[in-house]
Amino acid sequence: MPKKRQQFKQYSKPQSTAPASLSSGSTTPRASNHDDQPGRSVNELLADLRRVSLRSQQVPENSSAFAAPGAPTVPPAIRRILRLPETPAPPPRRPVRIAPNGRRLPPGPAAPRSWLSQSRYAPKSGSGAHVSDSFERRALPGAYAPSRRSLVDITLRRIAEDWEFQRSYNRHYLYSLPNHLKVALITYLGMCHGNGVSVADLRAILQPYVDDNTDDEVEEHDPSTANEDILHLDLTGSLGRDLKLRELSDLLFRPASTKSPYRTQSELQDSWDTPASQPSNPSIPRPLLPNITHLSLAIDPKHAAAVSWRHLLSFATRFPTLTHLSLAYWPEPTLTPNAKLASFVVPTGTGGSSRTLRYGGTGPYSHSLDDDWSEAVLVLRRLSKSLYGLEWLDLTGCVGWATALMAVAEHDFVDWAGDWGKIGTVLLYPGYKPGLDAGVSETEQFEKDVGLAAKLERYIRGRRAGRGRPIDVETDAVGGWNLGVGIA
């Protein structure tokens, strides 16, 4: 049988013209004209592609706005050849949101108010919130104060705002804080807590926790020894609210008859050979803050009626070593503040005649009409004899009775050369600033109150006559009162 011939498929020579896909993508009239001409070489086609790639590199930057969202990214060389748009740049990050108190807020929109109304992290009002001071605060010289918006500052403010929970939950650890943080925490409680500092708060910070249900003695040192480094105690704005001078005195100075629940070194036996029946010598109880030298008893002017000069005189006898004291916004010195308008009738003879006398030492017109400061001078003189070691005195907001510091009543006066001869700085700021719309009478009264400081400084210098320390009475500037609006 004859062999079958195998028919091989004839392959033609590849065409020399460019494909239609390349020619259709051209946007220049010159390239389209070349595509219509048959027989173009490969070199010409490559030259056209190079020209097209050069034009694609000159695409404006805003061409990324026309890129399809979610398009895959390709290398830059291939993107230029295929004339793909540039990859869109990532959107800019949103600015960090900061709360008014400096805290960094979480990302996202703010929470609705309805969520915060019942949240435990909502801004509190009343006793737990930060109370805006209606009076000027001045820190004690040398007191520790953390930097604003520092970690210590934020932590202490948060503890003070949530103090009711912290005092109960951390009652075993508050006493172990360093002494400088104890002082700062007491100061923050006076600023951020609605009712200021109470005796229970001071006891929770300055004394270790003792369970009342057990009679066991605490196996720790006496808190007086642990608090020896505390020199400052700032109770600004606390007196007249939840703190009384009598309660503070009972806390700082334990009576001798009260047995302390803490074991001191003197109560421990030196040797096992000591007979148990031998009586031990009881030691005098030490103050809770034995080395305190800086004390602030400044009050809120709204609670001035709740403080008593009689209690202050009794309290001052226990602090002869005080060097810095603040009595800002205290009322006028008097021993009978509630008897200013009281009077009684005294019979003078047998004819039935009588005489009306004032019940207290100061009447309603004693200062304005009679210029009688005898009771105020008596109280201040007794105070100066108890606090004879003062070097710094803050009397901000006391310009109403500052005349008593210079008055002489029946050969009795404040001894600035003897008892208070060590005082070198007196703060006598008016405690208020007239607004921009203040009248002429308010402006004149402010200038009179400011001028009282210069008058007091001249009086003290004349009394000392070269003896004692140089005196400096600080106050506001007369020409700068119109820069403030209301009370600072």
The tens digit of pLDDT for each residue in 88-119 reads 777 777 777 777 667 777 777 776 766 766 66
DSSP 66-120: GSPTTPPP--HHHHHHTTPPPPPPPPPPPPPPB-TTSPBPPSSSPPPHHHHHT-T
Contacts 24+ apart (CB under 8 A), 340-345: 340/364
Angle at 310 between CA 308 and CA 315, to 5 degrees: 95
Q: How far apart are CA 421 and CA 468, in angstroms?
A: 5
Sign of the C-alpha dihedral computed for residues 17, 20, 22 and 28 taken in this order = positive
Q: What pLDDT, on a 0 to 100 scale, did the predictor assign at position 221?
A: 64
Q: What pLDDT, on a 0 to 100 scale, did the predictor assign at position 191?
A: 87
Q: CA end-to-end span of the chain, whole Å?
A: 125
- Spans of all domains in the chain: 18-60+73-89
pLDDT tens digits, one per residue of 456-469: 999 999 999 877 78
pLDDT tens digits, one per residue of 147-183: 988 999 999 999 999 999 999 999 999 999 999 999 9
Q: What pLDDT, on a 0 to 100 scale, did the predictor assign at position 18?
A: 53
Q: How far apart are CA 185 and CA 137, in angstroms?
A: 16
What Å distances lie between residue 277 and 185, 193, 257, 259, 271, CA to CA?
45, 51, 21, 19, 14
Q: Are 426 and 395 in contact (CB under 8 A)?
A: yes
Q: Are 329 and 396 in contact (CB under 8 A)?
A: yes
What Å distances lie between residue 136 and 263, 394, 454, CA to CA?
43, 12, 21
Token code pair at residue 204: 């929770």
pLDDT tens digits, one per residue of 309-339: 999 999 999 988 899 999 999 999 988 877 6
Q: What pLDDT, on a 0 to 100 scale, did the predictor assign at position 63?
A: 44
Average pLDDT over residues 421-429: 94
362 or 42, which is more confident? 42
Q: How far apart are CA 68 and CA 302, in angstroms?
A: 68
Token code pair at residue 478: 């007369």
Give the neighbor-by-neighbor strand order of the sheet with 294-296.
232-234, 294-296, 324-326, 392-394, 425-427, 472-474
Closest CA to 312 of 266, 245, 260: 245
Give yes or no for residue 26 having a pLDDT over 70.
Answer: no
Q: How far apart are CA 58 and CA 83, in angstroms?
A: 11
- Per DSSP, what are the bridge partners of residue 294? 232, 324
Q: How far apart are CA 326 and CA 335, in angstroms?
A: 20
pLDDT tens digits, one per residue of 221-235: 678 888 999 999 999
Task: Name the 3-class secondary structure at 346.
Answer: strand
Closest CA to 421 of 378, 394, 453, 387: 387
Give the lowest-confidence range in 35-44, 74-83, 237-246: 35-44
Q: What pLDDT, on a 0 to 100 scale, did the predictor assign at position 277?
A: 46
Give yes or no for residue 131 having a pLDDT over 80.
Answer: no
Quickly count: other Cβ atoms within 10 Å of residue 297's Cβ: 24
Q: How many helices (H) and strands (E) does the chain have?
A: 14, 8
Q: Are 214 and 176 in contact (CB under 8 A)?
A: no
Give the lowest-confidence range in 42-46, 103-107, 239-243: 103-107
pLDDT tens digits, one per residue of 373-384: 888 899 999 999
